[in-house]
Amino acid sequence: MVRARGRGKQRKLHPRGRSVEPAALEAVREVLGVEPLRRDLLIEYLHRIQAHYHHLSRLHLTALAAEMRLPMAEIYEVASFYAHFHIDSENPSLPVLRVCTSLPCMLASADTLLGQLRGQLSGRARVLPGSCMGRCDCAPVVAIDARYIVNASPQSVRTALDDRVEEPLPSATRYVAYVADGGYQLLQSCRIGKRPLTDILNKLEASGLRGLGGAGFPTAHKWRTVASAPGPRYMVVNADEGEPGTFKDRDYLAREPHRVLEGVLLAAWAVGAEKIYIYLRDEYPELYRLLAEELPAVIEAGLAPAGGVEVRRGAGAYICGEESAMLESIEGKRGLPRHRPPYVAEQGLFGRPTLVQNVETLYWLREILEQGAERFAALGLNGASGLRAYSVSGRVREPGVKRAPAGISARQLIDEYAGGMAEGHTFRAFLPGGASGGILPERLADLPLDFGSLDEHGCFVGSGALIVLSDQDDLSAVTRNLMAFFAHESCGQCTPCRVGTEKAAELLRAPVENEALLSELAEAMTNASICGLGQAAPNPVRSLYRFFRDDLM
């Protein structure tokens, strides 16, 4: 007993912090197993606990903190950062139903669908709005826990809620079929010295291949930088395409996972990476299961060492598509972008030199190295090099992933690859690079969609997400939707982005526009934000005032 201050009373003092319930601790141990717990697997542990109990109770979070010997605040800040974790839900037995409200789904009346489902499913599901789910060609989209309903309607969602079947695996090219078609021979020839590394790098340089996640950094230069850094080195595959309008990486992994994996292993060989991490969107559960089935065959064939490739799930955070935020997430932390320098090629995952590559970049390696760099480069148009995949959504007849020459125009993509405009719609505007790429009017639709070609108009092609708008769309409402997305997805680390996105969204909702204040705010966000989210978030606002003033009336 310890004498307490006050009126001379004696009472037992408990240790500071939350006490751990023995039953909760045992439950957490049962879900996670007896393996030694690792700090970098915290997000995976949270996934497992939520999958078992349908939410994250404070008792279980406290027990997890005790088991991992981490402060409760550290566990809680990670769990509360990611949108897909539900802490202390009132009705955890009810399924979580998320309605995508990002721009392509908004164009498909997602807001109306959200209201209908809230009214019809009260007491049967927890109905929430959600950010982009990577199925923009099949809008609107609704997620029921880990199952995704495309072209959703109230009836199809109710039926799926009753069925509760697992998301089916895609019809992918499996390991045996891929090997029969010459797969992994390129990798083997590199490893045994038939293809020298210098030759590989020279061909990549000649092909003009760039990072196709949005930044467009030359691939050969990145490989040389990482390879020249002192080891050990790591490689990370960025499969976290959260940009509204982007779904190409999902298509590549769903159709040809081994072509991507061969590219992954080839890049890791080139830079001498000791371990590979594939960071996959949590919105792609079927791909997570597909990779879990296919990777053992690669390891059994001796193409990758046991434990040499780990697939990590995100948990619903757009910011984790930014490479340094993604590394923080892989380390089991909040996805907060890092200050630069140092750059991730020099000091990346776990403080080691790290090669980060997008899925599509890795996909093209085999074609370039087997068919010829010059041949690949010549496939581009208007001075661009090679081919790339454009995610096309919005007001077109045939949305989807379109493999087309780099440098193609938006008009050509719409007319020659996407079946033209949807019936009853007239082409009015387009987003060339998803939510952050700005908005351009139809009169500029003949410009090439390539890196740098749209700079003078305040836009960029980014990951190649083309969202097509028509005469029936209110560009002011489109801009409000985009800014609301950025405000929701800001990590909150830096004031210009955290406050700027919220303030811009508020100003756009005001009955009278304030162009001067919005312009000043955009300038501050662009110049002072830590990462590309805050820097690019004002692009739609700038486009609205530059090209579409009529929509402000």
Q: Which domains does the chain have, with CATH numbers?
A: 15-81 (no CATH), 96-163 (3.40.30.10), 175-369 (3.40.50.11540), 387-470 (3.10.20.600), 475-552 (1.20.1440.230)
Q: Mean pLDDT across the stretch 355-364?
A: 98
Cβ(128)–Cβ(110) under 8 Å? no
Share of the chain above pLDDT 90, in %: 92
Cβ(241)–Cβ(401) under 8 Å? no
Per-residue confidence at 6, pLDDT binned at 50, 70, 90? very low
Distance CA 53, CA 56 (A): 7
Enter the tokens of residue 192: 């045994």
Cβ(395)–Cβ(422) under 8 Å? yes
Residue 7 above 80 pLDDT?
no
Enter the tokens of residue 163: 């069925």
Tell me how crowded residue 291 is: count the other CB atoms within 10 A of its CB.
22
Residue 16 above 70 pLDDT?
no
* Per-chain mean pLDDT for the chain: 95
Tell me how crowded residue 437 is: count the other CB atoms within 10 A of its CB.
29
- Give me the torsion for CA of 170, 371, 449, 108, rounded to 10°: -10
pLDDT of residue 10: 55
Cβ-based neighbours of 186, under 8 Å, separated by 6 or more? 195, 262, 266, 365, 366, 369, 370
Amino acid type, 342: P
Q: Mean pLDDT across the stretch 44-64?
A: 96
pLDDT of residue 2: 43
Residue 13 above 70 pLDDT?
no
Indicate the burial class of 5 (C-beta count within 10 angstroms; 0-12, 13-18, 19 or more): exposed
Could you report the per-residue pLDDT of 486-540, keeping only the tens digit for each?
999 999 999 999 999 999 999 999 988 899 999 999 999 999 999 999 999 999 9
Q: Mean pLDDT across the stretch 292-300?
A: 97
Cβ-based neighbours of 204, under 8 Å, separated by 6 or more? 219, 220, 223, 365, 368, 373
pLDDT of residue 3: 43
pLDDT of residue 34: 72
Share of the chain above pLDDT 70, in %: 97
Q: What is the 3-state secondary structure (H, E, C) of 473-526?
A: CCHHHHHHHHHHHHHHHCCCCCHHHHHHHHHHHHHHHCCCCCHHHHHHHHHHHH
Residue 377 above 80 pLDDT?
yes
Q: Kindly report the backbone phi and psi dihedral angles of residue 264, in degrees, each rounded to the nearest multiple of 5, phi listed first.
A: -60, -50
Q: Mean pLDDT across the stretch 453-463?
A: 96
Alpha-helical runs (H) found in 37-93: 42-53, 58-68, 72-81
Q: Mean pLDDT across the stretch 119-143?
A: 96
Q: Mean pLDDT across the stretch 11-37?
A: 80
Distance CA 38, CA 40 (A): 5
Enter the tokens of residue 287: 């791909």
Q: What is the 3-state secondary structure (H, E, C) of 386-399?
A: CEEEEEEEECECCC
Per-residue confidence at 59, pLDDT binned at 50, 70, 90? very high
Burial 302-311 (b: 16+ CB within 10 A, else e): ebbeeebbeb
Q: Mean pLDDT across the stretch 142-164?
A: 94
Beta strands (DSSP E) in 378-464 are: 387-394, 400-405, 427-435, 440-441
107-111, 161-165, 295-299: which has the minimum mean pLDDT?
161-165
Cβ-based neighbours of 375, under 8 Å, separated by 6 or more? none
Cβ(406)–Cβ(388) under 8 Å? yes
